[in-house]
Amino acid sequence: MPPLPLIPLLLIFFIPFSSSVAPQLLHQSHFNKHKFHLNKSDSYKQYYEITRPLPFHTLIPSCALPVFSHDFENTIGLPPTTAGYSSPANCTWSHVSLHLSVSSNGSQYDRIAAVWLDGAELLRTSTAEPTPDGVFWKISKDITRYSSILRQENLTLSVMLENVVNDVYTGVYRVNITFLYYDIGSNDTGSHGFNFPLSLFPLNQKSTVMKWKENPVISTLNREENSLDLYDKPADLIIPISGIENDGFWFRIEKGSDVMYKGIQIPANTYKAVIEVYVSFHGNDEFWYSNPPDSYIELNNLETKRGHGAYREVLVLLDDNIVGSVIPFPVIFTGGINPLFWEPIVSIGAFDLPSYDIDITPFLGMLLDGNVHSFGLRVADAISFWLVDANLHLWLDNNVKEVQAMTFKYSAPSSGVECESKFHKLDGSFEIEGKRKSEVSGWVNSSLGNLTTYVHQKLKFENTIKFKKNGTQKVVKQEVKVKKELRVESDTGTLISRTTVKKTYPLKITSSTLAGSEKNTYLMITDLEHSLKEERSNGNLSSSLVNSQQSSGWMFVQDHDVLSGAATTDQSYTYKDNFSCYSQIVSAANGKLGSNTTSLLCSSSF
Ligand SMILES: *[C@@H]1O[C@H](CO)[C@@H](O)[C@H](O)[C@H]1NC(C)=O
Ligand SMILES: *[C@@H]1O[C@H](CO)[C@@H](O)[C@H](O)[C@H]1NC(C)=O
Ligand SMILES: *[C@@H]1O[C@H](CO)[C@@H](O)[C@H](O)[C@H]1NC(C)=O
Ligand SMILES: *[C@@H]1O[C@H](CO)[C@@H](O)[C@H](O)[C@H]1NC(C)=O
Ligand SMILES: *[C@@H]1O[C@H](CO)[C@@H](O)[C@H](O)[C@H]1NC(C)=O
Ligand SMILES: *[C@@H]1O[C@H](CO)[C@@H](O)[C@H](O)[C@H]1NC(C)=O
Ligand SMILES: *[C@@H]1O[C@H](CO)[C@@H](O)[C@H](O)[C@H]1NC(C)=O
Ligand SMILES: *[C@@H]1O[C@H](CO)[C@@H](O)[C@H](O)[C@H]1NC(C)=O
Ligand SMILES: *[C@@H]1O[C@H](CO)[C@@H](O)[C@H](O)[C@H]1NC(C)=O
Ligand SMILES: *[C@@H]1O[C@H](CO)[C@@H](O)[C@H](O)[C@H]1NC(C)=O
Ligand SMILES: *[C@@H]1O[C@H](CO)[C@@H](O)[C@H](O)[C@H]1NC(C)=O
Ligand SMILES: *[C@@H]1O[C@H](CO)[C@@H](O)[C@H](O)[C@H]1NC(C)=O
């Protein structure tokens, strides 16, 4: 076996008495870690984030636009790299997808990156760590919701990826981005023979198409035609709630009291508004869900700065009122917890971090007064650092100059966070329970009618961290539950639409450390369970997603080097809706892909 380079993050994450490494001004998830490889491969190895294909991936795009190509070398401290963008000429399109491909060889940390168009974020992503033999990966994202920006000319596309390249860290990230444009408007019935609800459009597979044709519902569904089905149509205007370009547009939040504001005056004919939040966590808060309270660190004289407890919440403020909050899905970057877990299947969301939508339509009554209002972003209890920004999506009524609106019920979101800490020396248990409930409604009188929107959200957060066996065993358990309901009613009280979303994301990490016989050596054994479950319904249509990963492994570490190790990751991904279904079960062991079963036919009919 070749000499193995290794991984210090464990030192930082798992061992409470380990020292934390000197912070640098770097948007990276870890310091002083390398990649771990059990075997050399002859060629570039592909990494994957398991997800379903885009609904229109089998259709032929009307045009393809390579928009960006750059090698990110020593880019630390530099502004983002930019390219010009103009909507492709002579191309009729209704949908757009973004395709990112990255390759790298050498030695390098995982890095955080983002893509903005005209200052609006389109994608938050992180990198795999390269090997001397090279790695590559590809991702696709439906970016149709950004159509109002994508249709413009002479814009700037910006990509931030702060990387360090020197004698030690040699990996350069080579990045290409292409946009594919599809013309699959609502009246396109030609090739498919039916109008389909696009977001639910299944894979173009013979057997399944037959099955759908037998389903009479398909031909009666036509979202674009139904002007009252406001939900899935892309916004008419998107205003970024972001910082200055030189720093990469995202706001850098270092502490709980930091609030980043942007003043925005919204058009008087806005009838619907949604804030989309992008967020990632780094430095001492990369593993915020496993951070013990400061008192534990202080009383045990630990050097780590990964503290401040495990409660974090991203708050969206409108003129200093909380109008929404998000407890982010705990995305684990490729160097996180045990890097062997994420090779070649990365953690859920690592290549395409989720963004979070907050419908603020009921607040239009406060916003439509022609004044500039301040939109703010904050991370409760944060320690350094978080990268947060947002897009304000606005739908405009083209038939009138202005609409009237009123916010008539707003109970400021009540929240309660309870913490319980018990510890003696290095052993102890820390529990946090948090809840937030919000309820708001308001009417908007536009040419669509006088419609009242009700938004209800319930958020529940539970976190337990236990240290046992003199701090050498750590168990982290977290569960976040979100329930949302959005109801639109006419002035006569008729229900126009009802959308519900239920999300849960449980996480469990168990790790034990055993001291080795030689100086500064130890063995670490870790198990991890991680899931994202989501159920949505919109009228009589529904969808569900269950995406779960289970990893276990060990490694033998000396100082900052992993000398040996083994790991397995099993993942199961199942998506179902009224028209399609996609399920994939994969496993990886010691850096190699094992079984991979994909199915488009679900056993239980949805
Ligand atoms: C490494 O490669 C060798 C030879 O191909 C193989 O026998 C061994 O099982 C591999 N080890 C791992 C951990 O994959
Ligand atoms: C667009 O189409 C028109 C008419 O066919 C043609 O004159 C023009 O050159 C085309 N423009 C581009 C950029 O292809
Ligand atoms: C990027 O595009 C260039 C030019 O088409 C190609 O040579 C290169 O292999 C691509 N790199 C990646 C990472 O896709
Ligand atoms: C990456 O691969 C190329 C081509 O094989 C090689 O020339 C280069 O030295 C490698 N870079 C690093 C940092 O290993
Ligand atoms: C974009 O820039 C070109 C060249 O500078 C110019 O001719 C064109 O009018 C601009 N388009 C818009 C929409 O500003
Ligand atoms: C819809 O049909 C109209 C009339 O046939 C046509 O002009 C238009 O381009 C079509 N739109 C799409 C998106 O196919
Ligand atoms: C509601 O909006 C419509 C369309 O803008 C307008 O004609 C109507 O007068 C408005 N109703 C009231 C009571 O303002
Ligand atoms: C517990 O860990 C601390 C710090 O490593 C060490 O100093 C102490 O001796 C340990 N206590 C026992 C009982 O092993
Ligand atoms: C719209 O409807 C609400 C309640 O249904 C009502 O209180 C309000 O006065 C209406 N607004 C207009 C402009 O008619
Ligand atoms: C589903 O809802 C649509 C629109 O609300 C309606 O036209 C359709 O009949 C409903 N289908 C079923 C099966 O209930
Ligand atoms: C879609 O599936 C859900 C869940 O099985 C079912 O309740 C609903 O009736 C279905 N809708 C249609 C239009 O078939
Ligand atoms: C799994 O199999 C599917 C279909 O055979 C293929 O498209 C996909 O690339 C494979 N995934 C991985 C991670 O190898």
- Alpha-carbon torsion angle 9, 15, 21, 26, nearest 10: 40
Task: Using the predicted structure, report yes or no on whether residue 38 has a pLDDT greater than 70.
Answer: no
User: Mean pLDDT, to the nearest integer, of 60-74?
Assistant: 96
Measure Cα distances from 69 to 98, 101, 173, 361 in Å: 13, 10, 11, 38
User: Mean pLDDT, to the nearest integer, of 118-132?
Assistant: 95
Local confidence band at 578 (pLDDT 50, 70, 90 cut-offs): confident
Gap between the Cα atoms of 564 and 38, Å rounded = 8
Pocket test for ligand 8, best of 470, 472, 473 (most atoms within 8 A of CB): 470
User: Mean pLDDT, to the nearest integer, of 527-554?
Assistant: 95
Residue 186 exposure: Cα atoms within 13 Å on the Cβ side: 11
Q: 35 C-alpha to center of ligand 1: Å?
A: 17
Model confidence pLDDT, tens digit, residues 87-112: 999 999 999 999 999 999 998 889 99
Local confidence band at 558 (pLDDT 50, 70, 90 cut-offs): confident
User: Which atom of ligand 1 lies closest to the CA of 592?
Assistant: 14
Task: Using the predicted structure, report yes or no on whether residue 57 has a pLDDT greater than 50.
Answer: yes
Burial degree of 207 (CB within 10 A; 0-12, 13-18, 19+): exposed
Residue 41 lies in a domain: yes
> For ligand 6, is residue 187 a contact (CB within 6 Å)?
yes
Gap between the Cα atoms of 558 and 6, Å rounded = 9
Local confidence band at 36 (pLDDT 50, 70, 90 cut-offs): low
Give the range of the structural domain holding residue 482, as residue numbers without chain letter. Answer: 7-599
- The ligand minimizing its distance to the Cα of 594 is 12
Local confidence band at 415 (pLDDT 50, 70, 90 cut-offs): confident
User: What's the whole-model pTM score?
Assistant: 0.88
Residue 392 lies in a domain: yes
pLDDT reported for residue 409 = 74
For residue 245, which phi and psi values (nearest 5 degrees)?
A: -60, -40
Q: 589 C-alpha to center of ligand 1: Å?
A: 11
Task: Using the predicted structure, report yes or no on whether residue 226 has a pLDDT greater than 70.
Answer: no
Q: What residues have CB less than 8 Å from 165, skipping those under 6 apart? A: 73, 74, 108, 171, 172
Kindly report the average pLDDT of the chain as a whole number: 85
Gap between the Cα atoms of 281 and 215, Å rounded = 45
Residue 382 lies in a domain: yes
- How many domains would you assign to the chain? 1
**Contact call for residues 561 and 555 (beta carbons, < 8 A):** no
For residue 26, which phi and psi values (nearest 5 degrees)?
A: -145, 130
Local confidence band at 40 (pLDDT 50, 70, 90 cut-offs): low
Place of tokens 């059990």: 38
Residue 604 lies in a domain: no
Residue 1 lies in a domain: no
User: Mean pLDDT, to the nearest integer, of 158-176?
Assistant: 95
* Residue with the larger pLDDT of the pair 212 and 268: 268
pLDDT reported for residue 560 = 63
- Alpha-carbon torsion angle 487, 320, 305, 8, nearest 10: 40
Pocket test for ligand 3, best of 101, 125, 136 (most atoms within 8 A of CB): 101
User: Mean pLDDT, to the nearest integer, of 226-252?
Assistant: 80
Which of 604, 299, 270, 580 is CA-nearest to residue 424? Answer: 299
Task: Using the predicted structure, report yes or no on whether residue 42 has a pLDDT greater than 80.
Answer: no
Residues pairing with 259 in the sheet: 378
Pocket test for ligand 11, best of 540, 545, 576, 579 (most atoms within 8 A of CB): 540
Helix (H, G, I), strand (E, B) or coil at 266: coil
Q: Which residues form ligand 11's pocket by a CB distance below 6 Å?
A: 217, 540-542, 578, 606
Residue 606 lies in a domain: no
DSSP 15-74: -TTSPPPPP-S--BS-SS-----SS--SSPEE-B---PPPTTTTSPPSEEEEEEEEEE-S
Model confidence pLDDT, tens digit, residues 376-409: 999 999 999 999 999 999 999 999 999 999 998 7
Residue 138 lies in a domain: yes
Residue 245 lies in a domain: yes
DSSP 176-207: EEEEEEE---TT--TTTSS---GGG-----HH
Q: In which element (H, E) is residue 510 found? A: strand 495-515
How many Cβ atoms from other residues are within 10 Å of residue 553's Cβ? Answer: 21
Which residue's C-alpha comes closest to atom 9 of ligand 2? 90
Model confidence pLDDT, tens digit, residues 417-456: 999 999 999 999 999 999 999 999 999 999 999 999 999 9
